[in-house]
Structure 1
Amino acid sequence: MAHSLQFGSRRPAQLKVFWLFGLTSSGRSDENENGFQFQGGLFFSFLRRNRTMFTKLIIGFLSCCFLAGPPTAVGQSQTAKSPGSVCFSPRHSSASGCEEMQAQFAQSPTRTGSLRGTVALEPSGIPARNAVITIAELKKSVLTDERGGFQFNDVPFGRYQLIAHLDRVPDAVKTVEVTQRDQTIELQLTLAPVSEQVTVTATGSAEAVGSSYQSVTSVAALELAQRNPTSIGEALEYQLGIAKRSFGPASGRPVIRGFDGDRVLVLQNGLRLGGIASQSADEVEPIDVLSLDRLEIVKGPATLLYGSNAIGGVVNGISTNDVYQKGLSGYLTAFGDTNNWQAGGSAGFKYGVGNVLIFGNGGAQKAHDYRTPLGIVLNSYSRSADAGGGLGWFPRRGWVSFNYTYDRRIYGIPVEPDAIDFEYLKMHRHSYEVKGGLRELGGFIEGGDFAVSYNDYVNREFEFESDENVTELDSLATNKNWNYRANLNHQRRGRFSGTFGISGFTRDYKSIGAEAPAPRTKQNSFAVYGLERVDFEKVGFQFGGRVEQNGYNPEGNFRKRNFVGFSGSAGVRIPLWTGGSFVTNYQHSFRAPALEELYNNGPHPGMLMFDIGNPNLNAEQGDGIDFSLRHNSERLRLESSVYYYNIRNFVFTAFTGVTDPGSHLPIVDYAQGRSRYVGTEASIEARIVPALWLNGKVDYVRADLTQPNKPLPRIPPFRATLGAEWRYTALSIRPELILARQQSRVFDNESPTQGYAVLNLNASYTIVKTRAAHILTIGGYNLTDRLYRNHLSFIKEIAPEMGRNLRLSYTLRF
């Protein structure tokens, strides 16, 4: 069954589109080994067997739209019907059928106005040139001119969010309303340090965090540069609802609301990094935090857009190389620490000329063993270097770019003071990425984007025997990974707007050596999904669904596995007062067991256990609900959330009580039960006087196995943070007190952790010129030199957290 779509233009094109959604009555029902039944199985089996073809179909569809211009329906001339008319139904493939369908979307003539304004940089008020101004609801963007001015024409009457973005500077958001025909609105947006956050991770399109149906946090480049973290876990450990899992300072990885490992997905620009840190705590996530424009965190299940590995949340590093700007711009950051004598820097640039954008970045850092109040932690050093660059082409209605990145890291695993054997890891990664998109097509499909990446990841683990001066290779792991995704955004029709698309990846994982627990395994995943939003005057709704397939093909005498599952969500957002809203979101999530949970069978030093996988595990099925109360105004920002997650077939490590005689590691089996996560989060920012903001936040999660009845391991304790920001012209001073309670609810083979209080103080001075901004920051961390331990550290007994540290950093933005 096939139908054609013809796009009216000087270069007409045709596409064959299988009408798969209509086959539920005639298609055979498929049932996988876990009992998941998919009515209309011909639809999914076609997609699963033809991933490459379907990907080419989507890309071809985008290409045809780009070449053809605005589409028109089959059998209609451009003069007979408005541009953008397109019929998707096989039952209405005639011209009259298309007219009948489109009549359902008919609207009265739209009244429009114009919108213009200026953008300035605080504290000097200098115009911000080349800032990107976006109307979020319309997905339209313009660049500011030399005077910081911008203008939109033909804006339909309504209420909109304007987002101002400038590289390496926190975004600004302002709500405006166009209410009169041809009305010109003068708008002043100020890029201030305390500003509303922006996210693209929650829905795939830019929106204010406060408007998201999920709980989202965004950390800007300026804040990342002030912290100068050695890992992504260190960059986020004090954000609301986020903690740091570690096996030393170099391998920190975020834990979201108590979820860890394969249940938290770390991405860059929406694509997988190709690393194996989710499998082992001593591995690193290969991402250069200082090269990012911002880090976004979606807390709670995010499986709808990103797959089953996001059942606990998503961390997405955002870079803006897909945004064109004229001329030269860039950044430079340099920093140094006193505790571990860390030193390093990062730099990047963009140069736009004509329709072409050239970009590049690179950085390096070196840190020695760090000190605690008990002394030096041996073998805690780290080295890292990275470089990347690419080229982008930006014609009128689309864009395409290519990017290459190389990462290299060497770091040690901390040991006890009297140790004579030292382990260290060497990692490198090559990453290639092609991205593209379309915009303002004028039809039912108003735009879309695609991305394809390939990652070649290699990690070697060595052991140095100091008494014999011998170095041996313990293990070698490689992970070759292809990722792809394609999204289409349909035009707002009445109250409806949304996105649908495909995504997937393939993976070839191999590990050899004495400490190689898993066989060589090839994994593939493919999914289709859709997300729709319905906006009314007093309430908004968002709903969506995803069908995903995951397959494992291991070498040797291991069972092959295939999992098919459904994830869905439904959310409601209700305005309560000016700036205030109530949001609730329900999510059903699916997670296929991870490779190590299925096939590991050997010593796993990175998890401090000898683990035995279970190839008969079932897929996890989760149900969760969030309730949030939010307020955002010029003087007060508030968000409080309560959440509950119940997961069936939850995979956990069951200790057998036996120790492996060769590795001296406890033997554990991967088993399944039921789990429950209940928690709360709250944050507040209040402006007391124009120069002073006070802020505070608290978070707590209680996570248990309900079958059997026991606490889950490495769950963060109750935490609270109290802080302030005082600004006087170009000077900013930010004291911060971090409090954590004792964590005594522990799993088998886990020890309690004492509570602590840590005092930090940061001060920065900003000089803004017409063409550049200079930021000098000095920070003091753990100023009282408190001895404390991170409950989520695998080696907290031999490696407490860092003692008193002073950090100096300089950032140039031009």
Structure 2
Amino acid sequence: MKTPLRFFNFLFILFIIAVGQTAFGKITTGDGKITGKITDKSTGNPIAGVTITIPDLKIATSTDANGNYLLKRLPKGEYLIQVSAVGYASETKVVELGNTYSVDFKLSTSNYELSDVVVTALGNTTTRKRATIPITVVTNKMIREGVANTAIDLVSSQPGVNATTEGSGTTKPQINGLGFDRVLTLMDGLPQEDFQWGDDHGILIDPYAVHSAEVIRGPASLQYGASAEAGVISFKSGPLPQNGTVVGSVLTEYHTNNGYLGTSLNIAGNHNGFVWGLQASGEAAHSYSNPKDGYVWGTAWNQVNGRLVLGVNRSWGYSRLTLSALHRRIELPDGNRDSTGRFMFDFPQNGKIYPTRSDFLSYNANIASDKSLGEYQAWWQNSVNVGKGKIGLDIGFARSVHHDIDTGTVGAGNLILGDIPFNLKYQIADDKSGLKLTTGVNGMYEFHHNGDAPPLPYVPDYEIPNYTNFEIGGYAIVEKNFKDLTLSGGLRFDHTNFTGDPMSLNSEGRIVPVGTSGSTVQFSSFNNKYNGLSGSIGASYQLPGNNYVKLNVSKSYRAPAINELTSNGLNIGSNLVQLGNRNLKAEQGYQVDLVYGHDGKDVSVEADGFYNHINNFIFANRTDSLSSGFPIYQYLSTNTAIITGVSGFLNIHPAATKWLEIDNGFTYIYSHIPNETDSTRHLPYIPAPHLNSEVKFRFNDGHNSIFKGTYVKFGLQHDWAQNNVYSAFYTELPSAQYTIFNAGVGTNLVNPKTGRTICSVYVNCTNLTNVAYADHLNLAQYFLAYNGTPATVTQQNQGIYNMGRNISFKLIFPFGSNSHKTTAEE
């Protein structure tokens, strides 16, 4: 414990020194201000309602009726600003903030909004086309128009991204065929360490708190460490408003299939540089249904979330504190049926053997076996100007609580996890030379203990031991921008130190002192240390004719996760027994990405081909043994795993027909384990080839119309059959191809006199024709029991299928006030 505490003291002292230098140096004077006018490039007319954002500062404003905008009380320094509006291509520009900076923009009309969008997940703020590695951006507009039950649903339809699920509220992300501890998920930069290794619950982030997202596809994200071996999903909350402004919105949503009810309030303000934000939401759903299973027992869930942001913007930089609390309760299906296929209770409930219709339609998510999950976070982010550079210090605390409740209110498994993440970073950029340097140290101190055992006669479940884990890594990334060429490279070194406590159990499964007569060893003490080097070098080149190419070569490293090392028990939610392996070595990988893109006035296209070679690849191998009817999985590593694939998009947005947009996204991934048999030559749970296609028709707004931005869209999702599976001992089954159709409509009701939006309305129908299907990454298709006795699924149609037809209705009511003068007056 001494080493982490000393390191945190060092971070704090270093930050105080930086603040002191800034407070007494010359660079603290001044009040950064940006003002200007935004017009239509072809007509010269001013554009109202354009959003102007400084992503690094998370500050935004919008233009008034005359196209004027103003941002003030901004920290000094060099920043990239982004301008975006519906129906126009995004524009970016680098500005040097001193006192007052005036910059005008002329926007070109376009239905494609991602042409020059800003990305920040790479550490150095840049644009999507300039980034040297593949990156996907999900905008707020895309989120508002879509349908999602969880935060991962917001990004899972993007090229190269997929999601595993075991039922409602349990989605976990995959990037390029890799998931769980190989994908790092962030919320405003805070790592989500809420038992990432578990596939029986989702990422504990409120989808209503997410304003936008960025996905880094590949291990080139050096600043994030070994947990980002496959890539990074970076969720971002909404930008804070301009000084003197209070803005917000109220959202309400309903889904017909599972009765999903969602409500969210979001409000934020800025008073002379003191910024604040409050977000609160609630969600609830009963069991979902599909044409094969009817209502699926054990898929109800509910969630509440609260989030508070407090901070200051000053000439020296900014400081922000985010506090959040989330509680989610999810039922977990186990596929228990009678001989006719009818769902049964695991245990009789009030004398009943079968759930009734009222049980299926109940929003009470603790009738079936369920989980009670809590996530409580504090995250303090700071940025201080030092000379021409910036020092950032982020430090936080997260407490994750995980109760496995087999029946009633008794927790058989009770896991309590604490994390102290930290990040110290120095950045300096020179726009004239095109050089950018980012260097820093980050990591995490993690501690876990098992909670109290349930009272007799219930038997506790201890799946992982009490342990501590200290991770720390240092990195340096250099980027050089030429006129059309961007070069980027960096190195990182990581150290991981696991220390586990011994545990012994008596005949009743209770913890007793180690060495007690008649006891059995559940866990022995251990201390595993890992060191690893990772790096990348890449380039992007802007070719003539709006073409561009990218090439990136990276070396990845990942230490084994705690479950891979130590698991020894039943995973209640996944209906299987897992056994760890303390002799596992760290994974070492090499990946090459080659990207071609074109961003024209009529067509935008991008294709990313990748080759990933991983040594000591770790996965759970199903054995031919059972424990109380549940299959036993043993973690092992193969000498080599090879994953290749291609993902990309094709967006057609004809300049001559601005009412039409056609969007297509495709993902194909192939895995191979050399020198293995036919049943073991592919990695398990690699997604099937996947196509998303959508046609959107936009209506002319009209001069005095109360409807703005009206559209109708039709789409399909097609998954081809996946026959490249790890079929040994029925670990994985081939999946059939399927096609589902979707449709949607949306509009904004506005005040024709002021142009202000009164309400936004979105209606979507997914699985329009009510197809019965099981996605290849739907792990609930392997859940089957007869009269309470677990059974092995040997055919895909024996398990649980995905949701059937669903119609969603979403209303968003924005509001806001400005206590200061108008932009033009100021």
Do they superpose with TM above 0.5?
yes
1:723 aligns with 2:702: no
Residue number in structure 2 paired with 1:206? 125
Residue number in structure 2 paired with 1:43? none
Residue number in structure 2 paired with 1:268? 187
Q: CA 1:162 to 1:702, structure 2 compared with 1: closer, same or farther past 3 Å?
A: same
Q: CA deviation at 1:537?
A: 3.0
Residue number in structure 1 paired with 2:223? 305
1:754-792 per-position Cα deviation (integer Å, ceiling 9, x unaligned): 110010001101234545452101111101110110111
> What is the rounded CA distance, in whole Å, between the counterparts of 1:743 and 1:361 in structure 2?
41
1:338 aligns with 2:256: yes
> What is the rounded CA distance, in whole Å, between the counterparts of 2:290 and 2:375 in structure 1?
32
* Higher RCO by CA contacts (8 Å cutoff, separation 6 or greater): 2
Residue number in structure 1 paired with 2:669? 701
Q: How is 1:311-710 mapped onto 2 (pairs within 5 angstroms)?
A: 311-320=229-238, 325-374=243-292, 375-416=294-335, 417-421=342-346, 422-439=368-385, 441=386, 443-445=387-389, 447-464=390-407, 471-492=409-430, 494-511=433-450, 514-556=460-502, 557-660=524-627, 662=628, 664-688=630-654, 689-706=657-674, 708=676, 710=681
1:738 aligns with 2:717: yes
1:127-151 per-position Cα deviation (integer Å, ceiling 9, x unaligned): 237x434499xx9988566454358
Q: CA 1:145 to 1:177, structure 2 compared with 1: closer, same or farther past 3 Å?
A: closer
Native 8 Å contact 1:116 1:152 kept in 2: no
Q: CA 1:427 to 1:119, structure 2 compared with 1: closer, same or farther past 3 Å?
A: farther
Q: CA deviation at 1:698?
A: 1.4
After alignment, is 760-769 or 227-236 more displaced? 227-236
Residue number in structure 2 paired with 1:238? 157
1:625-648 per-position Cα deviation (integer Å, ceiling 9, x unaligned): 100011223322111110000001
Q: CA 1:536 to 1:224, structure 2 compared with 1: closer, same or farther past 3 Å?
A: closer
Q: CA 1:142 to 1:702, structure 2 compared with 1: closer, same or farther past 3 Å?
A: closer
Residue number in structure 2 paired with 1:68? 24
Count of matched residue positions in the alignment of Structure 1 and Structure 2: 706
1:767 aligns with 2:706: no
Q: CA 1:165 to 1:525, structure 2 compared with 1: closer, same or farther past 3 Å?
A: farther
1:59 match: secondary structure: helix
- TM-score, with normalisation over the residues of structure 1? 0.81
Native 8 Å contact 2:60 2:240 kept in 1: no
Native 8 Å contact 2:423 2:440 kept in 1: yes
Q: CA deviation at 1:220?
A: 2.2
After alignment, is 793-802 or 499-508 more displaced? 793-802
2:653 match: secondary structure: strand
1:211-233 per-position Cα deviation (integer Å, ceiling 9, x unaligned): 21111112123332333422233
Native 8 Å contact 1:120 1:127 kept in 2: no
- TM-score, with normalisation over the residues of structure 2? 0.80
> What is the rounded CA distance, in whole Å, between the counterparts of 2:141 and 2:68 in structure 1?
24
Native 8 Å contact 1:451 1:486 kept in 2: yes
Native 8 Å contact 2:160 2:648 kept in 1: no
> What amino acid is aligned across from residue 583 of structure 2 in structure 1?
N
Q: CA deviation at 1:270?
A: 1.5
> What amino acid is aligned across from residue 801 of structure 2 in structure 1?
P
> What amino acid is aligned across from residue 669 of structure 2 in structure 1?
V
> What is the rounded CA distance, in whole Å, between the counterparts of 1:588 and 1:667 in structure 2?
29
Native 8 Å contact 1:739 1:758 kept in 2: yes
1:711 match: secondary structure: coil
Residue number in structure 2 paired with 1:108? none
> What amino acid is aligned across from residue 391 of structure 1 in structure 2?
L
Q: How is 1:27-176 mapped onto 2 (pairs within 5 angstroms)?
A: 50-70=6-26, 116-118=36-38, 127-128=48-49, 131-134=51-54, 146=64, 147-150=66-69, 162-164=81-83, 173-174=90-91
> What is the rounded CA distance, in whole Å, between the counterparts of 2:633 and 2:282 in structure 1?
39
1:215 to 134, 151, 156: 134
Q: CA 1:813 to 1:531, structure 2 compared with 1: closer, same or farther past 3 Å?
A: farther
Native 8 Å contact 2:185 2:192 kept in 1: yes
Q: CA deviation at 1:812?
A: 2.4
Q: CA 1:381 to 1:226, structure 2 compared with 1: closer, same or farther past 3 Å?
A: farther
Q: Unaligned stretches of 5+ in structure 1?
A: 1-45, 73-77, 84-113, 154-158, 465-469
2:673 match: secondary structure: strand
Q: CA deviation at 1:674?
A: 0.9
1:457-494 per-position Cα deviation (integer Å, ceiling 9, x unaligned): 11111122xxxxx5532211111111111221113162
> What is the rounded CA distance, in whole Å, between the counterparts of 2:593 and 2:376 in structure 1?
39
Q: CA 1:161 to 1:502, structure 2 compared with 1: closer, same or farther past 3 Å?
A: closer
Native 8 Å contact 2:319 2:380 kept in 1: yes
Residue number in structure 2 paired with 1:752? 734
1:369-415 per-position Cα deviation (integer Å, ceiling 9, x unaligned): 01101211011101011011131111123111112111011110123
Residue number in structure 2 paired with 1:801? 802
> What is the rounded CA distance, in whole Å, between the counterparts of 1:385 and 1:171 in structure 2?
36
Native 8 Å contact 1:585 1:626 kept in 2: yes
1:496-531 per-position Cα deviation (integer Å, ceiling 9, x unaligned): 212111111111122355332111111111111111
> What is the rounded CA distance, in whole Å, between the counterparts of 1:170 and 1:676 in structure 2?
42
% identity of equivalent residues? 20
> What is the rounded CA distance, in whole Å, between the counterparts of 1:327 and 1:71 in structure 2?
27
After alignment, is 581-590 or 321-330 more displaced? 321-330
